[in-house]
Amino acid sequence: MVGGCLTIASQAAVALRPLYPQLKSETPTQFKPSREAFDYTIRDVMIPMRDGVHLHTVIVIPKGAKDAPILLTRTPYDASGMVTHMVDGHQSAHMGPALQGYDNAVDTIIDGGYIRVIQDIRGKYGSEGDYVMNRPLRGPLNDTPVDESTDTWDTIDWLVKHLPESNGKVGILGISYDGFEPLMALVHPHPALKVSVPMNPMVDGWMGDDWFHHGAFRQQNMPYIYEQEATRDNTQHWWSAFHDDYDLYMHYGSAGAMGKAYGMEQLGFWNKIVEHPAYDSFWQQQAMDKVLAKQPLKVPVMLVHSLWDQEDIYGAPAVYRALKPKDTHNDMVYLVMGPWHHGQEIEDASSLGALKFGSDTGAYFRKHILAPFLAHYLKDDAPPNPVAPVTAYRTGANRWERLQSWPSGCASGCSIQATPFYLHADGKAGFAAPTASEAKDTSYVSDPAKPVPYRARPSQPVGYDGGLTWPQWLVDDQRTFSGRTDVATFVSPVLDHDVTIAGMPKVHLVASTSGSDSDWVVKLIDVYPDQVAGDPQMGGYQLAVAMDIFRGRYRESYAHPQPLTPNKPLLYRFDLPTANHMFRKGHRIMVQVQSSWFPLYDRNPQTYVKNIFFAKPSDYVKATQRIYHAPGEASYVELPMVEKR
């Protein structure tokens, strides 16, 4: 007290005094749970990186583990949540149920006796540091001393020095973003890293994975960017006032206008996307197939690909093509292709949408491919590796094949013949080239005010929970679209023999537009007989085997867009996703061509503008599209057909 007055500090102390007596708290300062009944232990640690940042890491160790190998996953999706799944509303005392969920191949982990390690990447959830989407390697796009490769190295180094229960051998695996991390681990790998298993990895965000496909922007991934970047722990959620995503994205017009309405200019990665709509050095320098093509091959790798991957259908085959030339003895680079959606290989995979496979193809993968592959490289007794260099599921025939390379039609005695499947007048198609006697083109009007939906409306948002069917849209029945006047449909006669393809179908489209820019969507479809014995719902089903979109302005160069000459027939060439499919006798082969795929992809205004993100409402105009099928101007899809030698 100074001069009879309370000091400011004294006044604050008086204000904080309780107004009534306090009972003793029943909550301990620090609670130590008793988990004697658990068959595992969990350690929460902060692992230091070379720049002083600490990364939150959860280590799950089977009780009694000794000389156990380590399975590592690095994730932006909450490490703690991935190891504490609830069972009947309770935390499970058993390791398997606790792990059951995203990115955990539980049966492989438990049966193999692995130590399971999951780490939050820097800037996400419990980890320190700054977050950068798919943080590029140190270099032109990253002037810091750290990247995902160095963080993986430092993490592995700490683990093998601080886990006495381990045998010092580490494998890294993960799906999607978590599949990108095992690719990064291959750059200057730690000596203790013995195997890498990237599943459905993000590889090239512009060419055909998450952000663009051949230049067309995947605008339905805007909510992902929003939630992933707005906060460290993904607590800021996307919002909508519409039941149908088709209406939501139409309401805002361009993707740029929608981003502005949602305040996305605050998000670093969104600004990068908007600033780099073409395939410039920003995208090329971080494409992981290109990065790994320049690296020595030091660690065995198994690339796992889903033939109907609705998110990252480009990545795994692209990395396989980049790495395989380095595999001089055919024993370092493995490829597995299953009939799955994105990540379905760790779930029940007996079916996908309306398709039934007759067995659980996911369980087959985990038991007969993943488990023995990991055991061979990570167990001290190194059991033999029974896995073929390529294990591919042949859709249509519903069987697994063991192959020496990809593409390959069979184990031996087959070759791949590039065979044009031609489009003809009057909606016909076949293996014979068009003649001068038929009409030279098929036309339709593309109206940006009424874009073609990519699936039957109402369009659901991207997601896996709450009854959403996003994972199966690539196998949706395409009959919804084949009767539209703004979709050109071409179909073959009924096949009198099986036709098998293995590889990437290549589009050779001769087309014109009355506009100065245009998108071209091409779908290769297996049309079932009108009646299917034992499975009536498949009668007449139009199953997409491979389909993709191409933004016309990139016809001459992905890096340097140019306007199209109106009403001039031009050649568009691009690859469709990898397929391994048998069109059965009695089926037909169909090709659909259209100029929008909404709202998954942003609308092309069909007027050339410098940056479509900022297209104005007046830029969006109707256009007359013509598909040519005449001698010298033939349109076709080149099929990688399997033929017996």
pLDDT grade, residue 35 (50/70/90)? confident
Q: Which residue has the tokens 């867009």?
A: 561
Q: What is the pLDDT of residues 546-604, one digit of tens each?
A: 999 999 999 999 999 999 999 999 999 999 999 999 999 999 999 999 999 999 999 99
**Class in CATH terms, 414-644:** mainly beta
Q: What is the pLDDT of residues 594-639, one digit of tens each?
A: 999 999 999 999 999 999 999 999 999 999 999 999 999 999 999 9
Q: Which residues contact 397 (CB under 8 A, 6 or more apart)?
A: 500, 582, 584
User: In this predicted structure, what is the pLDDT of residue 87?
Assistant: 85
User: In this predicted structure, what is the pLDDT of residue 623?
Assistant: 98
Q: How far is the C-alpha of 284 from the C-alpha of 289, rounded, in Å? A: 10
Q: What is the pLDDT of residues 175-227, one digit of tens each?
A: 999 999 999 999 999 999 999 999 999 999 999 999 999 999 999 999 999 99
Per-residue pLDDT, averaged over 467-489, amounts to: 96
Give the residue extent of every domain in the chain. Answer: 40-201+287-302+325-330, 414-644
Q: How far is the C-alpha of 229 from the C-alpha of 149, rounded, in Å? A: 21
pLDDT grade, residue 512 (50/70/90)? very high
Task: Specify whether domain 40-201+287-302+325-330 bears CATH 3.40.50.1820.
Answer: yes
pLDDT grade, residue 138 (50/70/90)? very high
Residue 103 clears pLDDT 70, i.e. is over it: yes
Q: How far is the C-alpha of 543 from the C-alpha of 593, rounded, in Å? A: 15
Per-residue pLDDT, averaged over 94-116, amounts to: 94
**Cα angle for residues 446, 450, 452 (degrees, 5° grid):** 70
User: In this predicted structure, what is the pLDDT of residue 423?
Assistant: 98
Per-residue pLDDT, averaged over 55-71, amounts to: 97
What are the beta bridge partners of residue 588? 527
Q: How far is the C-alpha of 482 from the C-alpha of 473, rounded, in Å? A: 16
Contact of 71 with 145, CB cutoff 8 Å = no
Q: How many residues does the chain have?
A: 645
Q: Which residues contact 50 (CB under 8 A, 6 or more apart)?
A: 145, 146, 150, 154
pLDDT grade, residue 645 (50/70/90)? confident
User: In this predicted structure, what is the pLDDT of residue 409?
Assistant: 73
Contact of 502 with 565, CB cutoff 8 Å = no
Closest CA relative to residue 418, chosen from 593, 604, 641: 641
Per-residue pLDDT, averaged over 397-423, amounts to: 93
pLDDT grade, residue 12 (50/70/90)? low
Q: What is the pLDDT of residues 331-349, one digit of tens each?
A: 999 999 999 999 999 999 9
**Cα angle for residues 271, 277, 280 (degrees, 5° grid):** 105
- Print burial letters for 295-334: b (CB count within 10 Å at least 16), e (below 16): bebebbbbbbbbbbbbbbbbbbbbbbebbbeebeeeebbb
Structure tokens that stand for 383 in this block: 């059991």
Q: Specify burial of residue 157 (Cβ count, 10 A radius: 0-12, 13-18, 19+).
A: middle
Q: What is the overall mean pLDDT for the chain?
A: 95
Structure tokens that stand for 100 in this block: 């059951």
What are the beta bridge partners of residue 489? 592
Q: Around 489, how many Cα atoms within 13 Å sit in the side-chain half-sphere?
A: 18
Q: How far is the C-alpha of 516 from the C-alpha of 613, rounded, in Å? A: 16
Closest CA relative to residue 278, chosen from 613, 578, 564, 565: 613
Per-residue pLDDT, averaged over 475-482, amounts to: 96
pTM of full prediction above 0.75: yes
